[in-house]
Amino acid sequence: MREVLVREADRHHIPTVDIMGPFLDALTLITSGPPKLEPGLVRKLDEEYFRRVEAIEFAVKYDDGKDPRGLLRADLVILGVSRTSKTPLSMYLAHKRIKAANVPLVPEVAPPQEIFNLPSHKAIGLTIKPQQLNFIRTERLKTLGLTSHADYASPERILKELEYAESIMKRVGCPIIDVTNKAVEETASKVLEIYYRGERHR
């Protein structure tokens, strides 16, 4: 391509400046081989790229327990009450090419039977300190223009949900991670450690 550009520029008497040439020459001196000179290599669509896209699509499709049929096809299933960062965690894992589904645990709604058929290392429970969850839910209600006195953010309701969720996670037999004051990246690191350790011991 460079040769064609130079030739055409000369033909039309257009001055050219080689910006990348000296840079590539310098890199050649410190690397083991010459540049490939193939455009688009940085953005090459390889198998890893398509696996990442597939994982992101999976996380969107099976977010928030939308379709229990996907749970047994997931690499990981995230369990927890509302506002424990299940969705952000699922999306973060998807960028690591992990197909993650997540299921909200609500006392009034029976969890899908599929979660009880998962290998223990393929399910992760998320829990959080009641005070932190109260703060998060109160702020969420404010952004929605609702009163902070709604049952959703009441201490009694929160304790009931957390106790119920813990009982379900114990039935599943999955590891439980406390996400209180943890960034998604920190939680994801723990989740991946558990997942890969389980994969090695299968």
Tens digit of pLDDT for each residue in 57-109? 999 999 999 999 999 999 999 999 999 999 999 999 999 999 999 999 999 99
How many domains are contained in the chain? Answer: 2
Of the chain, the percentage scoring pLDDT greater than 90 comes to: 72
pLDDT, average across residues 110-120: 94
Tokens 């490939």 correspond to 36
pLDDT of residue 44: 65
Tokens 């957390």 correspond to 162
Contacting residues for 181 by C-beta, under 8 A, at least 6 apart: 132
Q: Mark whether 39 and 123 lie in a shared domain.
A: no
Pair of tokens at residue 72: 């047994």
Q: Mark whether 73 and 21 lie in a shared domain.
A: no
Q: Mark whether 82 and 160 lie in a shared domain.
A: yes
How much of the chain is in helix, strand and coil states, percent to nearest 5?
A: 55, 10, 35
Q: Mark whether 154 and 67 lie in a shared domain.
A: yes
Contacting residues for 42 by C-beta, under 8 A, at least 6 apart: none
Q: Mark whether 129 and 37 lie in a shared domain.
A: no
Q: Mark whether 35 and 65 lie in a shared domain.
A: no
Q: Using N-to-C axis directions, what is the helix angle for 47-61 and 86-94, rounded to 10°?
A: 160
Dihedral, CA of residue 49, residue 51, residue 53 and residue 59, to nearest 10: -150
The domain in which residue 32 lies consists of 1-44
Measured CA to CA, the distance from residue 119 to residue 195 in angstroms comes to: 11
Number of other residues whose CB lies within 10 A of the CB of residue 167: 12
Q: Does the pLDDT value for residue 8 go beyond 80?
A: yes
pLDDT of residue 36: 79
pLDDT top residue among 132 and 34: 132
Q: Does the pLDDT value for residue 1 go beyond 80?
A: no
Q: Mark whether 37 and 16 lie in a shared domain.
A: yes
Q: What is the 8-class DSSP label of residue 106?
A: B
**pTM of the complete model:** 0.78
pLDDT, average across residues 119-126: 92
Q: Mark whether 97 and 163 lie in a shared domain.
A: yes
Contacting residues for 132 by C-beta, under 8 A, at least 6 apart: 180, 181
Last residue of a domain, one of 44, 59, 75: 44
Q: Quickly state the pLDDT bin for 164 (edges 50, 70, 90).
A: very high
Total residue length of the chain: 202
Q: Quickly state the pLDDT bin for 158 (edges 50, 70, 90).
A: very high
The H or E element containing residue 6 is helix 2-11
pLDDT, average across residues 140-149: 87
Pair of tokens at residue 146: 């609702």
Q: Which CATH number covers residue 172?
A: 3.40.50
Closest of 70, 87, 69 to residue 78, by C-alpha: 87
List pLDDT tens digits, range 22-49. 888 888 888 878 887 777 666 667 888 9
Measured CA to CA, the distance from residue 55 to residue 60 in angstroms comes to: 9
Of the chain, the percentage scoring pLDDT greater than 70 comes to: 98
Query: What Cα–Cα distance (Å) separates residue 85 from each residue in 33, 100, 188?
Result: 46, 13, 11
Contacting residues for 143 by C-beta, under 8 A, at least 6 apart: none
Q: Mark whether 24 and 85 lie in a shared domain.
A: no
Q: Does the pLDDT value for residue 110 go beyond 80?
A: yes
